[in-house]
Chain A
């Protein structure tokens, strides 16, 4: 501490120690806030259509599922002082046809980034899925699909937090080119 450069080094050195200690405390403080978001999903409409991916290098014709859904979600409890943003998404999962080696399948059909607490309530009616999914085998009809709602908290400091809440009723994808409305599903 005899000379000015020595004092600059000392102050800066201890500044980094304090900064990392506070950052660690902030990261740990996230655990104090309870995360109990709510969500309900209802499937409105679903159909399977044969099509080609919008990719010039891949011309295989395969089955695509189009899904419309209702969503009501309240993610307010995920926003605290250490929340940068919340990523929420809906995935469709289905067991795969009997005998298939792909026995557990999950694909994201819709997602959203919530940047602040004021955007934490979601209310969607007959929302069309952002992503039309196709199966790895190219065939879809007859699959027993369930939608589920997932959230992912991205904090300023600390670890990402993942969770899942809200499961729709299972529905069976109809054969190609027919359109069914919920409740009219004979399978």
Chain B
């Protein structure tokens, strides 16, 4: 169960998130330009659709799974400190 949850979550670290963001923008913008260019040069709008959808599939495959490249900078948390000693004091009501 935990394993399934972990696959669905696919958590990545902060550096990985920054990289994923950049890759999403770059791949999709380049795909759009290539799609327009392909349709224009071949003079048929179907090539625009094909190139555009292929590039989008590529973007999904590159960004969505938690590839190792996105988990290279794991956060190291400060270890949990030992609980401080607590002295219990009885407080008596003074009349």
Residues of A within 8 A of B (CB): 1-5, 7-8, 10-11, 14-15, 18-19, 21-22, 25-26, 29, 80-82, 156-157
Contacts and interface: CB of A to CB of B under 8 A. Distances in A.
B17 A26 contact: no
A81 B43 contact: yes
Contact of A11 (B8, B35, B52, B63): B63
Nearest to A79: B43
Q: Which of A3, A7, A29 has the most CB of B within 10 A?
A: A7
A82 to B, nearest CB: 6
Interface string B19-54: 011001100110110011001101111001000100
B52 A10 contact: no
B56 A81 contact: no
A19 B45 CA distance: 13
Main secondary structure of the interface of A (DSSP, over half): helix
Contacts of A26: 36, 39, 45, 48
B74 interface: no
Given A22-B35, A25-B36, A26-B36, A15 B17 contact: no
Q: Tell me what chain B mostly uses at the interface: helix, strand, loop, or mixed.
A: helix
B19 to A, nearest CB: 9
A80 B56 CA distance: 26
B83 interface: no
Contact of B28 (A3, A8, A18, A81): A18
Contact of A81 (B29, B39, B60, B65): B39
A1 B21 contact: yes
6 contacts: A1-B17, A4-B10, A5-B8, A14-B25, A22-B48, A81-B40
Nearest to B9: A3
B8 A4 contact: yes
Contacts of B11: 2-3
Nearest to B61: A11
Nearest to B45: A156
Interface in B49-80: 52, 56, 59-60, 63-66
Given A2-B11, A18-B32, A81-B40, A11 B45 contact: no
